[in-house]
Amino acid sequence: MAMTMTQKILAKHAGLDEVHAGQLIQAKLDLVLGNDITSPVAINEFEAAGFDKIFDKSKIVLVMDHFTPNKDIKSATQCKQCRLFAKRFNLDNFFDVGTMGIEHALLPEQGLVAPGEAIIGADSHTCTYGAVNAFSTGVGSTDMGAAMAAGYTWFKVPAAIRVNVTGKKRPYVSGKDLILYLIGKIGVDGALYKSLEFSGDGLSELTMSDRLTIANMAIEAGAKNGIFPVDDITREFLSGRVTREWTGYEADSDAEYESVIELDLNNIDCTVSWPHLPENAKPATEGHDVKIDQIVIGSCTNGRIDDMKAAAEILKGRHLASGVRGIIIPATQKVYRECIKLGYVDIFLDAGCVVSTPTCGPCLGGHMGVLAEGERCVSTTNRNFVGRMGHVKSEVYLASPAVAAASGIAGHIAHPKDI
């Protein structure tokens, strides 16, 4: 039976020769991930079930990133519970203040995810790791708690949608623009419980940073996961990071897809998602009447060094418009250090921005940039739901780092070519 990339990985981890869409399987896991919000719930479930052992101390990753450094007593208590659990079981991969980064930027950077692996995380954007040809998906904290003990979980094998990427990227266009354009095309439920499988000659135009961004936001189209094949770009990224053996998977030429979506990069320009859904995608050039109060450049979606570079190139020698607040959040300590070394931090400060320690912070309305009533923010984060970044009457506009930086300078949503 012909299979997609996702189906091949799931078949391998289920110990089966083949699987088909809709089939219920039990699959072994290569990694189980949690953060400071979801892990305490998982730990409570783990203990309530009477578990006293974990399946593998090298395959459970806890990252303190959402509310760290701790913003209040509740967040401090949650992180303390995670610290005690990590110490109790001597976890190899526990990331706290000083070593942490935003989880979905940190794990690829650290070489903790690789092609052909099966990964779950108690965070919806765990689908990020499909960028390196892994099957990765978000689960609930109860599933995480059970998986920490068992080392496996159940899945319904998803059907697939093929996204055929062709053409060449236009100036200033990035993976963020591509995924916002795609979600605008198919809607927030356009790939509900499907695997979004990317292919085509146009993939050579997409950097690993582009791919991580695209896979990260697959969930915003309702997808179970997003996944890319292994190519030279993947191999270059993995080289020196992943030292264990891995196996990449390609879809069979006659694999069955529910539909095929054609994306011609020649036709995709800088794109912004208006409130209050990621599917409300429009060209950035239509935003000149949308005055803004804040920009946020960072998050698990766009906090890597390529994102910092794109923002720095726009902000260099310029200053934010009067009344606009700029918040820059490098996604990991390594990215932060590179920003210092390359002079990006000076550029950001000279432009009137603040530079934060790695944290999810404002993305979920946590801290470091919560919005008041009536305020508007252009953000490189992944969701713009009602109240996502603060007051229910605030507005979040999703964009790339280049567009966010340009908008901060203009004081309204702007295409980088127009500043």
272-414 CATH fold:
Aconitase; domain 3 (3.30.499)
Model confidence at 173: pLDDT above 90:
yes
Structural domain 8-263, CATH architecture: 2-Layer Sandwich (3.30)
Quick one: three-class SS letters along 350-393? HCCEEECCCCCHHHHCCCCCCECCCCEEEECCCCCCCCCCECCC
Mean pLDDT computed over every residue of the chain: 97
Coil, helix or strand for 247?
coil
DSSP state of 177: H
The rounded Cα 211 to chain-centroid distance in angstroms is 10
Average pLDDT of span 190-194: 95
Question: Is the separation of the CB atoms in 342 and 369 below 8 Å?
Answer: no
- Residues whose CB falls within 8 Å of the CB of residue 232, separated by 6 or more in sequence, listed in order: none
In the structure, what pLDDT confidence band is assigned to residue 1 with cuts at 50, 70 and 90? confident
Average pLDDT of span 147-166: 97
Model confidence at 155: pLDDT above 90:
yes
Give φ, ψ of 157 to 5 degrees.
Answer: -65, 125
User: Where are the domains positioned within the chain?
Assistant: 8-263, 272-414
Coil, helix or strand for 28?
strand
Place of tokens 């499907």: 194
In the structure, what pLDDT confidence band is assigned to residue 147 with cuts at 50, 70 and 90? very high
Quick one: three-class SS letters along 284-304? HHHCCCCECCEEEECCCCCCC
Instruction: Give the pLDDT confidence of 328-345 residue by residue, as tens digits.
Output: 999 999 999 999 999 999
Does pTM top 0.85 for this prediction? yes
Instruction: Give the pLDDT confidence of 226-254 residue by residue, as tens digits.
Output: 999 999 999 999 999 999 999 999 999 99
Q: Residue 69: how many CA atoms within 13 Å on its side-chain side? A: 3
Place of tokens 């800088």: 270
- Residues whose CB falls within 8 Å of the CB of residue 73, separated by 6 or more in sequence, listed in order: none
DSSP state of 332: B
